[in-house]
Structure 1
Amino acid sequence: MPNNVFRRFAGALLLLIIAAAPAQALSPPRSGHPVFDRAVQLVMDKFYDASKLERFVEAVRREVEDRQAPVNADSPESRIDAAISTILDSLQASHTGRFRPDGIDYFELADIFRYGIRGDIRRLFPPDGEVAYAGIGLAARHGNGLWFVSDVYDGGPAARAGILAGDEILSVDGAPYREIESFRDKAGKTVEVIVRRRPGTEPIPVRVAVERLRPLPTFEKAIESSARLEERDGHEIGYIHLWTLASPGSMEKVAEALAEGPLKEADGLVLDLRGRWGGGRSDAAELFLGGVPPFRLIGRDGEAMLANVRWKRPVVALIDEGTRSGLEVFAYALKAKGIPLVGIRTAGALLAGSAYVLPDDSLLELAVCDAVIGEDIRLEGRGVQPDISVPFTLPYAAGQDPQREAAIEEMRRILARD
């Protein structure tokens, strides 16, 4: 072979080797710690975007080779927590995180992803695999050493006791608030929750019943319990909070409230999409957008059974950073049809996730598929912008909700024009 031909052949072969090398060389170092190494392996095997793995492997290498605090078989739990959080953050993707059984998110995600973790579900939640925890029906955000109530599930114990979004949680039965530990083994009993409603004001003691809560049924009950009417200028304005689409009965609860429940006579509807989790069918918005007429099935006894529902009256939707995943598709579909959105930009979290059980029984949620609307519309990292921007500050809100008030006012204006 002439030298120049050989050189061209060798150069082309070298380019092929270089091009293939990154995929072959992506071999992250092992730490010897089973939880860390299993999380790394799952990302390498399952994560949806291979182009981000090189950066991920470099993040793993830094954690394992850190001279000050290397991750190894003897690393304390706190070090492993921080290291896994760091390497997952390097992926810059939604639906990607680790959740421990000391938080409410763990139980809610375990119920949402129960099929994905079916091999472990009975062991994690004996004896029958029914996901449940003792709680009072609220979620809270932690920052600067303080806990503030972010979500009060409609119809739950905290809502019935008068706890409000924005309340600072000072203690539960005299001890610092812990999402799960504060209520462990207390189902059927009451606890004293001390809250502060305004900065610098006296603490308020609240007696709250502790219940055994099953996440998805709790969401369905909250959706159903949120439905109500409010009179403005002679018009009946309905409101319902769609906490999640992940529960099989979520949209059924909405449809029942509209067709047969408290919202049946509403002149217009405020649909609250400021949820906890997305999930669900991508065509859920068809209840408000579909062209198929409503119909019922009527049996021999004359009893009618809902077969489908279509809402034809005005709608205004509420969105914020809790509007994620399937709820973002919902919000996007509404906006595309000219339905006003009120609030702040949605989460920009539209990938398909799955869950895996790590050796310490924590859950790894991992983005396993990209998600595209239409031909090329991606909401991941972008979200959906509101038509009417209304900020909301959580701490010490005392139950005030300027976003909801703005949505009701927008509906009032719409009805006044019609």
Structure 2
Amino acid sequence: MSLSVRFASLVIALPLLAPPALANPNPQSGNRVFDRAVDLVEEHFYAPDNLDEFRDAVAITVANLTDMAEADPAVVSDAIDFVLARLETSHVGHFTPDQVDYYELVDVFRFGFRDRVRQLFPPRGRVTYDGIGIASATIDGKTFITDVYDGGPADRAGLMVGDEIVALDGQPFHEVESFRGRAGVAVSLTVARTVEGPSIDVAVDVERLSPGVGFVSAIADSAEVIEHDGRSIGYLRLWAYTDRQVKSVIEEALSGPLADTEALVLDLRSRWGGAPPTAADTFVGGSPDMSMTYRSGETNTIHARWRKPLVAIIDEGTRSGMEILAYALKDNNITLVGQPTAADVVAGRAFLLPDDSMLEVAVADVFVDGVRLEGAGVAPHIDVPFDVRYAAGADPQRAAALDEVVRQLNAAMTVPKTP
């Protein structure tokens, strides 16, 4: 996995005023993209006393890379990743337009550089890219689908988490470039579902995707009623909590299709974070339910709270604001199933560099009830590993969460009532 992915995770995003520019002690490379990235770290990184290793890496890079002013963009990107890695914190990373992450994060941070976004995505600055609604990762030299967004083109086509991507239309696969300019076209994705098994071709439609809208839709489409061991269990996956509509979508699911279920499995294995500090109130808070009915008979949910048994799933994709949600659930005795969270809980701010790539910088430390989750994360009560490779539809963490919530329901039935 690339350094930019390993060291960047989202999202606690803060709209901060820029501090006064500080003198930059680093040598200039002559490359405006690299030098601007270095300047931004010097100006905004939340722990300026911890920049020694970063500055050493900058000096090494400038001394050893010749002709930086005219360097290939890939070389510059690698150089930025190299120096950022020395910061050893989350919410730091460099993202380029050949990554799905770039579009998702530019959409998250778009209000911080809205004028540039309008130039990149004219006329209104609505961030979009051509794709099929997946995320992928290279593991041991092979590319695997790590996420299939609910209700998206890949989901409708039957692609699965864990599928190895062998080719697209017979050519090597690139997560953005393979689809660029092909919205409205059906492509053939060649995948392998087992280590030794044959490859299969899956026809999937390419669509013009808007990340924020897509995440909200995926959350809504993830709502599912599962019959498990004679119990009716609701399931909801929070792909990202980075849009103001997410709270409404959650509450509509809880008061709508999931309302009559006996318990809920809340999946916090997200792409990005962003959950506000009050996100747990929907599940463990004391505020009342509230709706409004208008003259037309239309009823709107203002606040819906889940009051039945709940189990949550976490893993290394549960990050930033979503980790704070996991922490709050655990603090309220909600069982967590899966793997430890990402331990990525500082605040990040994004900047567009001269070549339109995006730099994220950690700008503030974060404490939750006086506890620093950065570097520590949240551990599950029930540890369930999940090797995504060739999963072929199996999801041991979701299966374990369903088993646990049924166990809790059954245990509650055997508790004698107090006379």
The 5-angstrom pairing of residues 333-352 of structure 1 reads: 333-352=328-347
Alignment of 1:282 onto 2:280: no
Which residue of structure 2 aligns with residue 404 of structure 1?
A: 398
Structure 1 residue 245 displacement after superposition: 0.5
Structure 1 residue 190 displacement after superposition: 0.3
The 5-angstrom pairing of residues 2-17 of structure 1 reads: none
The 5-angstrom pairing of residues 113-124 of structure 1 reads: 113-124=109-120
State the distance in 1 between where 2:171 and 2:23 align: 51
Q: Structure 1 residues 71, 166: CA separation in 2 closer, same or farther (over 3 Å shift)?
A: farther
- Offset from partner CA, 1:198-244 (integer Å, 9 cap, x none): 01111100000111100011011111111111112332011111001
Question: Contact 2:239–2:271 at 8 Å: present in 1 too?
Answer: yes
The 5-angstrom pairing of residues 98-117 of structure 1 reads: 98-117=94-113
The one-letter amino acid of 2:396's match is P
Which residue of structure 2 aligns with residue 388 of structure 1?
A: 382
Structure 1 residue 57 displacement after superposition: 1.0
Which residue of structure 1 aligns with residue 264 of structure 2?
A: 269
State the distance in 1 between where 2:103 and 2:74 align: 21
Residue 57 of structure 1, aligned match among 47, 51, 55? 55
> Which aligned runs of 4 or more in structure 1 are off by greater than 4 angstroms?
none
Structure 1 SS opposite 2:361: strand
Q: Percent identity?
A: 48
State the distance in 1 between where 2:28 and 2:364 align: 26
Q: Structure 1 residues 71, 369: CA separation in 2 closer, same or farther (over 3 Å shift)?
A: farther
Structure 1 residue 321 displacement after superposition: 0.5
State the distance in 2 between where 1:234 and 1:102 align: 46
State the distance in 2 between where 1:303 and 1:33 align: 58
Structure 2 SS opposite 1:181: coil
Residue 131 of structure 2, aligned match among 126, 132, 135? 135
The 5-angstrom pairing of residues 129-278 of structure 1 reads: 129-260=125-256, 262-278=257-273
- Offset from partner CA, 1:376-406 (integer Å, 9 cap, x none): 2011011100000000001111121000000
Structure 1 residue 58 displacement after superposition: 1.2
Question: Contact 2:275–2:325 at 8 Å: present in 1 too?
Answer: no
Structure 2 SS opposite 1:29: coil
The one-letter amino acid of 1:340's match is T
Rg larger in 1 or in 2? 1
State the distance in 2 between where 1:84 and 1:305 align: 48
TM-score by length of 1: 0.91
The one-letter amino acid of 1:339's match is I
Structure 1 residue 320 displacement after superposition: 0.3
The one-letter amino acid of 1:296's match is S
The one-letter amino acid of 1:393's match is D
State the distance in 1 between where 2:140 and 2:263 align: 41
State the distance in 2 between where 1:57 and 1:193 align: 44
State the distance in 1 between where 2:55 and 2:23 align: 10
Q: Which sections of structure 2, spanning at least 5 residues, go unmatched?
A: 1-21, 413-419
Alignment of 1:297 onto 2:297: no
Structure 1 residue 25 displacement after superposition: 8.6
TM-score by length of 2: 0.91
Structure 1 residue 252 displacement after superposition: 1.4
Q: Structure 1 residues 342, 270: CA separation in 2 closer, same or farther (over 3 Å shift)?
A: same
Question: Contact 1:257–1:263 at 8 Å: present in 2 too?
Answer: yes
Alignment of 1:84 onto 2:80: yes
